[in-house]
Structure 1
Amino acid sequence: MTRTPERRLFTTKAYRRIAVAALAAAGLLTFTACTSTSTSAPPAAAAATSVSPSPSASVRKLTPAVSDQLDKAVTRTMRQAGVPGVIVGLWVPGKGNYVRAFGVADKSNDTAMSDGLRMRIGSETKTFTVTGVLRLVDAGKVGLDDPVSKYVDDVPNGDRITLRQLAEMRSGLFSYSEDADFDKAFLSDPDRRFTPQELLDYSFKHSPNFQPGEKFEYSNTNLILLGLVVEKASGQSLADYLEQQVLDPSHLDHTLFPTGTEFPDPHAHGYTNQTLNGRVADATDWDPSWAWAAGAMISDLSDLREWARIVATGTLLEPATQAQRLRTLPTGYPGTGYGLGIFDNHGWLGHNGSIPGYQTVAVYLPAAKATLVVLSNTDIPYQGNETSTLFAKAITTIVTPDNVYNLPPAPPASASPSP
């Protein structure tokens, strides 16, 4: 199948660009080392950026008139991009809230979208997996500067790639989701189950793209390895560990790491053109095992509202560990840096996600203590843009003009990530 650069799936290079947007929210605090094995900053620290937001942000009050502006902006974006349905939530202390559901959740019967529906959240999963790793750091069970070879065998350069570099997307490992054989296997049978080792096999048949720590490059392989590290260090399955150590303490009752194809009701149907014939398909029940620790999770608006704040403020972590998480490194994307499974996009901290049928943005703006969540039920791009980015940009342009969430439709030629 011939692909254009705009087509996204975890298997496409353009999808990796999406995840880059999620990268951008990581750079508020100065780095402070805290691992179970080291108390000194890694050599890369000198190249890190610490982008502190302004102490105050220009935020418009969410009056009826502003809410009407938002309604029109979201509706216009939906119409232009052909998005079936979208849920938007914006919460700004002292300024008001804006929560809306637009369009349809199921095109087969025109069921209206509602703000209580679950959706697949793609790379937002990375924030949960990395938080799991960081909880193990705080428990003294792993060190961020441990080599991945301590936990997983036969990783190329595994004796020199650290857990920190995996979480920062600076390992150099080829992303399994870029492999043509994987692409064919997945699209030929979206109901197929993949094991983590099978995913790694697609990656490891390729030589690393660069030496560990040399530069930034988004790779889903990094998260598969971190998921296996969690299992090795905790003695639990990734799903069980995240439930007990991340979801339960955060009181996220509508979020889960599926172990099969389960998708609890109520949920929205998701639509994609990531198919062998390029036709739009209902991807709701496609098996998410191919994304595993990189993108398999399910959540809803209310849980992601809480989670965006928890990730950005470090509720579950020791302060020094959170400081390391928010230490960002350059990505090659203007206004965007990437830390440990989190990005800083023009002051908004968090991540985005895309998986066939669904897209997500869940971010927090510390300067205003504001939270923005966007959930849509398609991953089909519009003029090369992620539609989740278009919604987030439209909303923040109106409400937080000094902090406009934005991700370019294509990476610049000089950027580290491949297009």
Structure 2
Amino acid sequence: MTTRWRSAAVAAAAAGLVVVPVGVGAGHARYPHAPPAVAAAPAATPAATPSPAPAADEFPKLTPAVAARLDAAVLKVLREAKVPGVVVALSAPGKGEYVRAFGVADKATGAPMTPGLNMRIGSETKTFTVTALLRLVDQGEVGLDDPVGRYVAGVPNGDRITLRELAGMRSGLFNYSEDEGFFKALTSNPRRNFTPRELLAYSFRHPVNFAPDAKFEYSNTNLILLGLVVEKVSGKKLADYIDQQVVKPARLTHTLFPTGAEFPSPHAHGYTDQTANGKTEDATDWNPSWGWAAGAMISDLPDLRSWAKTLATGTLLTPATQAERLKVSPAGDLPDTGYGLGIFNVEGWIGHNGSLPGYQSLTVYLPQSKATLVVLLNTDTASDGAEPSALFGEAITRVVTPQHLFRLPPQPVTGH
């Protein structure tokens, strides 16, 4: 589920392929921004004696042979989905790690994708916003079953919709990013700044879709409201509160909530067909304010690898509050998928994905193996109706955890 506002029509053309093999084996605390040796194709892996097959529910050792299978799976998606560049990190304690960068970070110059680049992470922002809210819950400042109308005026059904229902995507409020007027406003000037109240206005011009808690329906409107609740209760700007109460305690050093279109270097260029004319454009410097608490944040691979475990295990929360977060309800008609409080559980993989013009991401954690998977790519253009991040997630997990496949259909949207 994403901050993407409409389905894609035409896949972006992929630039020439380069591969940065960063590591299979020992871990790296933080990846250098300068790429290691770059090849035109992945180096051939020498034939190896097959290892004994792991137990049915066991995460495999990330041997060179397994790495070669992962290379092939990732490259297949990259080529077929016409993704310019992707970075993948997969690891589990005692199993080694697989870190790779494929393709290009800039189609104009051919600069390679590398693991040290900053990336826009779209709806993974929701995990930070909801964590900020849950920190306030632990401090006794708010209750999950408080009505949102206690904190934000003018919300349809605001006296009935709870903070829990907002975080769990069960409010019934119309998703502002599906509004026709919003789509026109954004694509006519993608560098404009949107305020949270402007975003809510696009939603509130529509009737509610259903009664509170009647069903699951993914809506960015919910997170805009939660962002306003955090600001109201904390007395701080959302970006500042998330930095002080989530990012810093989690010891993340390259994760930020931008106040405008700023994008720290080095970063990958992002490519989207979410444009007024449907043609692919470079969206690198588009203003993510339209996503705000639902999708504006920036991070990098090492930070997200750390955040995956922090989020899934509840390091920043009390055990009771984390347990509330992880109580999932069926996520609509998505098979074997549940949604908790700002978090997915897809076949046992816990975390979130993200998408906004030019970028997609996936950060998930498999508790029984303590395995972490992070995927970052520089396009949000769909491939035959599927989101590329989900295609990578499924291809990678099919190799290492076929009993826990990450399969997540795209969010249905209509704002075009």
Q: TM-score, normalised by structure 2?
A: 0.86
Deviation digits for residues 190-228 of structure 1, max 9, x if unmatched? 011100000000100111000111111000000000000
2:340 aligned residue: 339
Alpha-carbon contact 1:305-1:362 (below 8 Å) kept: yes
Within 5 Å, give how 1:20-419 maps onto structure 2. Answer: 57-331=57-331, 332-408=333-409
2:31 aligned residue: none
- Cα gap change, 1:127 to 1:306, in 2 (>3 Å): same
Of the two structures, which has the highest relative contact order with CA contacts closer than 8 Å and spacing of 6 or more? 1
Deviation digits for residues 65-95 of structure 1, max 9, x if unmatched? 1101111111111111110000000011111
What code does the residue aligned with 2:400 have?
V
1:10 lines up with 2:11 in the alignment: no
What code does the residue aligned with 2:288 have?
P
CA RMSD of aligned residues (A): 1.6
SS at match of 1:250: coil
What code does the residue aligned with 2:395 have?
A
Q: Percent identity?
A: 66
Structure 1 residue 408, shift from structure 2 partner: 3.0
SS at match of 1:111: coil
Structure 1 residue 113, shift from structure 2 partner: 0.6
SS at match of 2:105: strand
Alpha-carbon contact 1:59-1:401 (below 8 Å) kept: no
Distance 2:181 2:347 in 1: 37
Deviation digits for residues 222-247 of structure 1, max 9, x if unmatched? 00000000000000000000000000
Alpha-carbon contact 1:217-1:418 (below 8 Å) kept: no
2:40 aligned residue: none
User: Which is richer in helix?
Assistant: 1
Structure 1 residue 11, shift from structure 2 partner: 1.9
Deviation digits for residues 353-387 of structure 1, max 9, x if unmatched? 00000000000000100000000000011111111
- Cα gap change, 1:133 to 1:9, in 2 (>3 Å): closer
- Cα gap change, 1:175 to 1:381, in 2 (>3 Å): same
- Cα gap change, 1:165 to 1:409, in 2 (>3 Å): closer
Distance 1:150 1:9 in 2: 26
SS at match of 1:398: helix
Q: Unaligned 5+ residue runs, structure 2?
A: 9-54
Alpha-carbon contact 2:5-2:414 (below 8 Å) kept: no
What code does the residue aligned with 1:358 have?
Y
Deviation digits for residues 157-216 of structure 1, max 9, x if unmatched? 000000000000000000110110001100111011100000000100111000111111
Alpha-carbon contact 2:131-2:246 (below 8 Å) kept: yes
Alpha-carbon contact 1:121-1:298 (below 8 Å) kept: yes
SS at match of 2:83: coil
Deviation digits for residues 372-403 of structure 1, max 9, x if unmatched? 00000000111111111111111111111111
Structure 1 residue 58, shift from structure 2 partner: 2.5
Alpha-carbon contact 1:101-1:114 (below 8 Å) kept: yes
Alpha-carbon contact 1:148-1:162 (below 8 Å) kept: yes
- Cα gap change, 1:335 to 1:290, in 2 (>3 Å): same
Structure 1 residue 311, shift from structure 2 partner: 0.6
Distance 1:261 1:151 in 2: 28
Distance 1:277 1:235 in 2: 41
Structure 1 residue 409, shift from structure 2 partner: 5.4
Alpha-carbon contact 1:190-1:287 (below 8 Å) kept: yes
What code does the residue aligned with 1:329 have?
S
Q: Unaligned 5+ residue runs, structure 1?
A: 1-7, 15-54, 412-416
Distance 2:323 2:305 in 1: 21
- Cα gap change, 1:158 to 1:9, in 2 (>3 Å): closer
What code does the residue aligned with 1:354 have?
S
- Cα gap change, 1:410 to 1:264, in 2 (>3 Å): closer
Alpha-carbon contact 2:3-2:291 (below 8 Å) kept: no
Distance 2:3 2:223 in 1: 16
Structure 1 residue 330, shift from structure 2 partner: 1.2
1:5 aligned residue: none
Structure 1 residue 10, shift from structure 2 partner: 2.7
What code does the residue aligned with 2:107 have?
K
Distance 1:191 1:180 in 2: 18
Q: TM-score, normalised by structure 1?
A: 0.85
Alpha-carbon contact 1:384-1:410 (below 8 Å) kept: no
